[in-house]
Structures are given as C-alpha cells and as structure tokens.
Amino acid sequence: MTLHLVKLCVGVESVDQLRGYIEQRQILALSQGLSAEQIHTTRMVPTRIDELLDGGSLYWVIKGNVQVRQKLIDIRVHKDDAGKKSCDLVMEPFLHQTHFQPRRPFQGWRYLKASDAPLDVGGPMLDGDQLAEMPEGMRRELQELCLI
C-alpha cells in the first residue's frame, strides 16, 4: 500500500522559489560532473520504506499549506562513524502542484496516508493547466472560499 511523507519546506516562500532552487542545484551538479539527482537529507530514517517506494511522494508544506509534491525514487540509509543513522530521500526533480491542504508547523517529517493526501491540481473543477498558471495568491483565496 502506498504511503507518503509530508515535510515543511523551511525558508521557501513559494512553489516558484522551490522550483528555482531545484533548477539551480541541477545546473550546479551537472556543471561539476555530478548526478542531477534531487536529494533531501534527513536525520530520521523512515521504517516503512517499502510502502514509501511503492508510488509514494514527498509533500512539501509551503506557507502553512501542502502545495506541491515530488515523487520518491529511492531512500538511501547512511550511518556515520558514531553509528548514527540518517537518510537521503531521492526524488524526481519535477514538482506536481496539489490542492492546498492546511498544515500546522511541526518538526521533521510525518507519514501521510494516500487517502489523506491532497489531490494534484486538475480534475473536475478546473483544467490542470489553468490552475497551474493561476497566480498563487489567487489560487489560495479561491480555495479558502471553497470555489476550487
């Protein structure tokens, strides 16, 4: 059964800013002859790795709302010299915008059941391209008014 992670995107103000960071990291990695993999390192290691890699994504909370997700490709567990574990969350470098889902601040990451995950932008309400092109502030207001 598919399982997801949700994490705060600390220091990021918008989806466009996150997209810019991803692009910058890819350009830098390629210019140095490194892999362009999109990696986020976290100190805590998930225990449900098989479920996460069965189609799971990392959902990013930006400005108090889940707004975007990245599909998980791999989870690589590491141990330092002191035996302390950490892991690399390897993700697609593409962002999939989701409908806003409010989240209170929390530390680290949390599991997110597939049934509780926000839907990707698109679907019966508006065409996905229309919503993706809509200014973020306008989209937030329309969702708060339950119009989309």
Instruction: Provide φ and ψ at 40, rounded to 5°.
Output: -125, 120
Percent helix, strand and coil across the chain, each rounded to 5? 25, 35, 40
Set out the domains of the chain in order of their start, with CATH numbers: 3-120 (2.30.130)
Q: How far apart are CA 14 and CA 132, in angstroms?
A: 13
| CB neighbourhood size of 82 (10 A) | 5
Show the CA angle centred on residue 78, arms to residues 73 and 81, nearest 5°.
165
The 10s digit of each residue's pLDDT in 97-107 is 999 999 999 99
The 10s digit of each residue's pLDDT in 46-61 is 999 999 999 999 999 9
Look up tokens 């989806």; give the residue.
Answer: 15
| The pLDDT of residue 130 is above 80 | no
pLDDT of amino acid 4 = 98
